[in-house]
Structure 1
């Protein structure tokens, strides 16, 4: 036996080894490195042309007094930025955004509540899903005109309140407080469906075995939400908060259609549009747009620092 083993070992040692593949040529390595960039060339060109180049122009115009028409412009330095933060009429729009920030908090809580309820076995849940998501499908201009008649004097809201004996004589869009509250409420009604769908999709992606195990352990609905649903949808909740904050700071469509920025309802974007196209102050409007962009980036950065993304493994 030892001789047989030595003979087999000698045969293996004498067997020819497989030749090593030749290293790729320089041309092949170059082609392999360039090929991905060829596929990215078209989207990168579009991204630079329609995103980064306009942003660079906007930043450059924010340091000038350009009126948007004249071929001549003068360098003003940081004068436009100083004007934004020192003029009371320009700085007031930050307080208007507070109404939409408060409304976005209500919107997130309501969307999370409905998504949690309808993720369980509830009668007519598909019907209620459609009811909640339908406003998001409606055109924003149509929503603005519908609620314009809804809030007008003697309109739908006054008529409904009159049926319950309430005094309908109230100008809902006549003073800043009630007007901003009404507009923020319309925004909640419209965008509730988007957050609802995001939350519902995240909840339904949680394995059903976790709910079954929790029910066997005697966990109620609140405990299931606290220990299963809330940790499982944390990334989606973080995304929703970022979208809600940025949307609150850049509210435009509904207030512009319903009030046009009158009665103290002018938002940051409405003010920027008026500066650029009504008062021909494109340089100042560009500075306002840069400030809005920086605020959104800052809020996003702070939010990501306070609530970093963590991989959640519930299984």
Structure 2
């Protein structure tokens, strides 16, 4: 009993900090989602579930949800495929591969604001490096208004997000690859297994924990994406790249509908929680099967 009390005493400071800065704001947000608070004064009225009913009938919410799902699916699939390929390519002890690991990881260490501004200049339809390069190599007809055209804006933002976080996913996969015993590959070589068979029978099953971590990080990060989109397009053109987080910001801070914006935040939280639990169960079962 004395040992248990001592353990609880050491946990108490962290619990107090967590409660003050995480639990109390979360409970406060849940309460204010049932009010018409404008965020500017202390007066508000309890409106029950009216905010949530309005969400269901708000076409802009459904557009933002569709954009968020498209963004999450594209980022999760493409980023994990490319990251795994990079991890396989740089798996080794040579100085070139060690150098490339650092190079690929650099974008993840930079500010999303800085990356957003850099790629906005690169995508510039007049002075951007991408269109100028296409013109110089005779492919000027491929030049686009990458961020101003609704057909290309979402893909441009997705590519930038993948470019930023691909290196971090690569490092996680690389840690999984380097944890695989070399004896398994030697036995596969003796049995005459090819590279694809080695990947399917040994590599892919044994990097299941890394796969689980990367999938969850990609999905959670994609569903709450804000900074990179806000810097590059602010949700435009029109609503082509407007995510739920961008819509939340507009409602809460541009239109002073703090209660309604908080309701959007609660819905985002529930969606992310549900998807995370569902994905975790599926991926954990794959780990056990492996």
With the length of structure 1 as denominator, give the TM-score of the two structures: 0.85
Q: Counterparts in 2 of 1:62-81, with a 5 A limit?
A: 62-81=33-52
Bigger-Rg structure (1/2): 1
Q: Counterparts in 2 of 1:140-219, with a 5 A limit?
A: 140-154=112-126, 155-166=128-139, 167=141, 169-219=143-193
1:306 paired with 2:285, answer: no
Bigger fraction of residues in helix: 2
Cα distance in 2 for partners of 1:311, 1:102 equals 24
Cα distance in 1 for partners of 2:99, 2:14 equals 40
The alignment covers a number of residue pairs equal to 285
- 1:210: Cα distance to partner? 1.6
- 1:73: Cα distance to partner? 1.0
Cα distance in 2 for partners of 1:102, 1:260 equals 19
CA contact (8 A) 1:136 1:193 kept: yes
Cα root mean square deviation, aligned? 1.9
With the length of structure 2 as denominator, give the TM-score of the two structures: 0.92
Residue 7 of structure 2 corresponds to which residue in structure 1? 36
Q: After superposition, give the CA deviation of every residue in 1:7-40 in whole Å (9 maximum; x if it has no partner).
A: xxxxxxxxxxxxxxxxxxxxxx4x2331111011
Unmatched runs of 5 consecutive residues or more in structure 2: none
3-state SS, counterpart of residue 90 of structure 2: helix
Cα distance in 2 for partners of 1:312, 1:191 equals 28
Q: After superposition, give the CA deviation of every residue in 1:87-117 in whole Å (9 maximum; x if it has no partner).
A: 1122211121113421221010110111123
Cα distance in 1 for partners of 2:10, 2:289 equals 35
CA gap 1:242/1:83 in 2 versus in 1, 3 angstroms: same
- 1:304: Cα distance to partner? 2.4
Cα distance in 1 for partners of 2:75, 2:214 equals 13
Residue 213 of structure 2 corresponds to which residue in structure 1? 239
Q: Counterparts in 2 of 1:270-281, with a 5 A limit?
A: 270-281=246-257
- 1:120: Cα distance to partner? 4.8
